Structure 1
Amino acid sequence: MLDSSDPIAAIAARLRASGCVFAEEEAGILLEDGVSAAELERRVRRREAGEPLEQVVGWVRFGSMRLSVGPGVFVPRQRTLRLARAAVRVAREQERPVVLEPFCGVAPLAASVAAAVTESEIHVADIDPAALEHARRNLPAGAGVHVSDGLDGLPTALHGRVTLVAAVPPYIPSTEHRLVPREALEHEPEAALFAGPEGLEYVGALIDELGGWLAPDGVALIEMNRRQYRPAAVLARRSGWAPRARRSSDGQTVLLELRRR
């Protein structure tokens, strides 16, 4: 059991022994919600066993928001904050934003826009019902939450109305498991991580299918690895889009911006 005289030090020591790099920081997060001693012990044991911290505590900090997450769902990455901020900027420029986040998981992008541009009409879509339960908690009442494989399950009423698509489709090549941290491989769904040999299976499908959903002056923002930009841009041009790259500060990811020619 935990040493009650200095719980952060006691938890940090256990986490460090199990391989956690930021043990003191994680110990503070585990203690943050003021849970009972028994629940705290359960949480520490789950983290020692390798379960992602965010799934253990049930939330993730994403910018200024605290988003609901849970066991077995994809945890939003901090690098995606750049895409969220770009989406907010685009939505603020639109008169009546109709925002769609496909492959949404727990809907970090839609939640960011909804919080910053309150007049937005918000829709999200994902194939994972468990992730969508958390998305509902992260979004305002009235947001459209749709069970959908890509864009296939969206309501036809959205055809030609969406002014902003912001998405992080799965984009890790299925041959590159070595790039993924062990805890993600063990505790997040493979369908939220991997996307075929080149990692472009879902990105390519999204590019192909966007045309019927975006309004004439609509904008799409898609996160991917920087090495995937050129083939994705080729696909975009073939589908009638004018692609543009927004480089990330870490040099690893890129935002593909699409507008109609």
Structure 2
Amino acid sequence: MVSVPANDPDLDPDLDPGLVARLRAAGCVFAEDEAAVLTEAAPDAAAREPLVRRRLAGEPLEHVVGWADFAGVRVAVEPGVFVPRQRTSYLVEVAADALAGVAGERPGVLLDLACGSGALGLALARRRPGLTLHASDLDPTAAACAAANLAPVGGTAHCGDLTAPLPQPLRGTVDVIVANVPYVPTSAVPLMPADSREHEPRTTVDGGPDGLDLLRRVAVLAGDWLREGGAVFCEVSRDQAEAARAAFTAAGLRAVVRHDPERDATVLAGRTPTA
């Protein structure tokens, strides 16, 4: 078992060294950070113990404590709902810049497709107060979670397949679409970390044979919903970038690949033509 000396100079003195040691021994790479989150969620050791046991059993930390800190906002995350990844904060930053460019002085109109917890929409709405925000997810648990997260910013979550449940008057009025659709190839899903494989629905990660099944659908749908010069953003792996770009181009979008090496995050941007 890995031990943490009580006088370890790198350990936060407010953290229980025994808790850090247990998390490290269980394979938690960022044991100190996780210990801090668990301590915040339950400062009392007795109340914290059931949470620690759930984490040691492999349940995602965010499901254990009920939230994820993502892109400057705290997002409620329920068991069975996809946990937003920190690298996806890059997608939020790129989309925020696009909103400023397309909407100008207006707050703007945003769609968050395959929204999961609604984390992307929430982060963007916090950056642009007054944003008109609609989100959708096929899974009822995720849609309900997103509805709770988006209510404070005036957003609306719908349960259904991509744009199917959205209000029809939105067609042709949307400034930006964010769609963090699943993009892991089916053959690679068994190689994912156990906490994701065992605790997140497979439909939230499995993107089909090459990982791009849903991305292609989003590319085709985007033109009907975006206004002239509007933009759609999806996260992909770096290896998929060129195939994803080709899918956007085939759908009539002007496609650009953006990459952030620090977060190892790749974003595909597509714009509708302007007159």
| TM-score, L = length of structure 2 | 0.87
For the residues of structure 2 that align with 1:228 and 1:251, how far apart are their CA atoms? 17
C-alpha contact (below 8 Å) 2:88/2:265 kept by paired residues: no
Are residues 1:113 and 2:121 paired? no
Aligned partners of 1:73 and 1:130 also within 8 Å: yes
Among candidates 113, 128, 137, match of residue 102 of structure 1: 113
Structure 1 residue 202 corresponds to structure 2 residue 214: yes
Equivalent-residue separation in structure 1 for 2:157 and 2:98 (angstroms): 21
| Matching of residue 47 in structure 1 with residue 55 in structure 2 | yes
Residue 92 of structure 1: how far off its partner (Å): 2.2
Give the paired residue count. 257
- 1:77, CA displacement in angstroms? 0.3
8 Å contact 2:76–2:117 — kept in the other structure? yes
Q: Distance in 1 between matches of 2:59 and 2:232?
A: 34
Q: For the residues of structure 1 that align with 2:247 and 2:71, how far apart are their CA atoms?
A: 32
Identity of aligned residues (%): 38
User: Partners of 1:138 and 1:10 in 2: how far apart?
Assistant: 34
Give the Cα–Cα distance (whole angstroms) in 2 for the partners of residues 61 and 255 of structure 1.
21
Match of 2:91 in 1: 83
* Within-5 A mapping of 1:122-161: 122-139=133-150, 140-161=152-173
Shift of 1:35: 5.1
TM-score computed with the length of structure 1 as normaliser: 0.92
Aligned-pair CA distance for 1:231: 1.7
Q: Deviations over 1:110-133 (max 9, x none)?
A: 111110110210111111221222
Check the 8 A contact 1:217/1:260 in 2, yes or no: yes
Distance 2:153 2:178 in 1: 20
Instruction: Describe the superposition over 1:163-204 as per-residue Cα deviations: whole angstroms up to 9, x where unpaired.
Output: 100121100000112441111001111000011110010000
Q: Which runs of 4+ in 1 moved over 4 A?
A: 35-38
How has the CA–CA distance of structure 1 residues 238 and 21 changed in structure 2, closer, same or farther, with 3 Å as cutoff? closer
Structure 1 Cα separation of the partners of residues 175 and 222 of structure 2: 11
Structure 1 SS opposite 2:114: coil
**Distance (Å, rounded) in 2 between the aligned partners of 1:169 and 1:142:** 23
Out of 229, 244, 248, which is 1:236 matched to? 248
The aligned residue for residue 202 of structure 2 is 190
Report if aligned partners of 2:122, 2:153 keep a CA contact under 8 Å in 1: no
